[in-house]
Structure 1
Amino acid sequence: MNSHGINFGSIICTGPGSCNGQNIEGLTNNLETLDPDGSLQDLTEILVVRPFSRKGSFTTSRAFDVSATQFHMGLQPVEEFGYFVDPDGDGVNNELFVGELSAMSLFLEGMEPPEITSPLSDQASAGKETFSAIGCADCHIPSLTTRNRFLPFSFPEVESDPLQNIYRVLNLQNHGFPLAGFGSGVRVDLFSDLKIHDMGPGLAEANGNSRFTTARLWGVSDSAPYMHDSRALTLRDAILFHDGERANAKANFAGLSAAEQSNLLMFLGSLNSPANPNMGL
């Protein structure tokens, strides 16, 4: 299975709802749903890219917000709990309306994207080449191209069909994304493959799960600390914490000369957050 130049493994189907998902790669954190015994099942819900959260749990910023507003802010969205109920017993119901979450989604996804310093210095240009040469760009793919320039917003959301229930569409070309050199899509300088990778036992969480979504490096120069639990205070530390599937990239970086390492870090330092992401929004 290939999408936007990224390989997600393979499946074998013998008919509708009868597919073997043993060789799917990078699409789910639940190891049981990877179909380890090769049984045949409907894989519709598995074949969805979920780029939001460190564990690849959410398909859209709205889905992320439904969970995050509960966990971080103690707000219970009505689309999750219903109207005029008070599950947490705080004496307040209807804590976050559907329209409020819709407005939040439009705000977040309408922001200006991060940018790459232009022109790059000679050192950063050399670091960009090294970034690819040692394998960093294998997962942190510099650019992806969308099929079209329009981003749909829907409610209720259907993970396996984002074109259902659309209530608003944003033209990404008007929000800082350049048109790609071919077709009608836009270029997204994301520096990610949006896949889930096993990063080794050294980065595992308390439950033993060491599988994480490839971090998006756009804007990385302004987003310290790094890694899923902020254990890395510098980009150098973040690279050296890589292990598991990406142990080779860490080893390749460690084997570089001091000047080559410095150039690579200067390149990462050129991946900036926008100075005024809300201007004109």
Structure 2
Amino acid sequence: PSLAEFARDALSTEMGVTVPVDQGFTFGKVEDSDDAPDPEIDVADFEDLVFFMANLAPPPRGSTNPDDEAQGEKLFAETGCVGCHTPTLPTEKGTDAALYSDLLLHSVSPAGTKGIVVGDAGPTDFRTPPLWGLATTAPYMHDGRSPTIEDAVLRHDGEANTSREAFSSLSKDQRAALLSFLQSL
């Protein structure tokens, strides 16, 4: 999805805000049954929001051990984490955003998880969160039950089984390097 589509979807799904009808967009609810007149955000405010998001700078990277971080970045790719945590996504301006997310839904929870079903998202589906600024956002995962980044990695399931198992099979030093890389984002 584009940033505008992502914003439309997030406003509707995460915040319950209806969005203006706009040709070519398939994301976002344009009406609902509450007492507020629809759309609940007008075109100008929506465009200002998208402009603001498009121009946000990523948090500065916090490098403490460049050698470990470089090895960790390589392991991040080798273990398959980049399958969902895509290092960069193109923007509408033709530049790359280093989100470490594909912004898509993935089934990453164990079968039987009592999640929320919304639209096409099932109870085990969660949107891949951007990893930039990860070191400052504990606790982790959708429910905040992972106190550390390592615990969050080990809680991945479903589509992320292979990556979790690859991470688990790394040596202690390799795991430390990968975690050092994630802390640096």
Report the TM-score, using the length of structure 1 for normalisation: 0.50
Q: What is residue 133 of structure 2 aligned with on the other side?
A: 219
Which string of whole-angstrom CA distances, capped at 9 and with x for unpartnered residues, describes residues 167-217 of structure 1? xxxxxxxxxxxxxxxxxx212212123333222326551556212222221
Shift of 1:239: 0.4
Question: 2:115 corresponds to which letter in structure 1?
Answer: E
Out of 239, 242, 248, the position equivalent to 2:156 is 242
2:119 is the alignment partner of 1:205: no
CA–CA distance in structure 2, aligned partners of residues 213 and 77 of structure 1: 20
Is 2:104 the counterpart of 1:195?
A: yes
- How far off its partner does 1:60 sit? 2.9
Tell me if structure 2 keeps the 8 A contact 1:204–1:211: no
**RMSD of aligned alpha carbons:** 3.3
Q: Is the 8 A contact 1:201 1:210 kept in 2?
A: yes
Tell whether 2:11 aligns with 1:65: yes
Of Structure 1 and Structure 2, the greater helix share is in 2
Whole-angstrom distance in 2 between the partners of 1:230 and 1:206: 16
Unaligned runs of 5+ in 2: 21-29
For normalisation by structure 2, the TM-score amounts to: 0.72
Q: Within 5 A, what are the aligned runs for 1:12-31?
A: none
Identify the structure with the greater strand proportion: 1
Percentage of pairs with the same residue: 32
Supply the distance in 2 between the matched residues of 1:67 and 1:246 (Cα, whole angstroms): 24
Paired with 2:2 and 2:106, the residues of 1 have a C-alpha distance of 13
Number of aligned positions between the proteins: 170
Residues 122/203 of structure 1: CA separation in 2 closer, same or farther (3 Å cut): farther
Greater Rg by CA:
1
**In the aligned structure 2, how far is the partner of 1:241 from the partner of 1:229?**
11
Equivalent residue for 2:77? Answer: 132
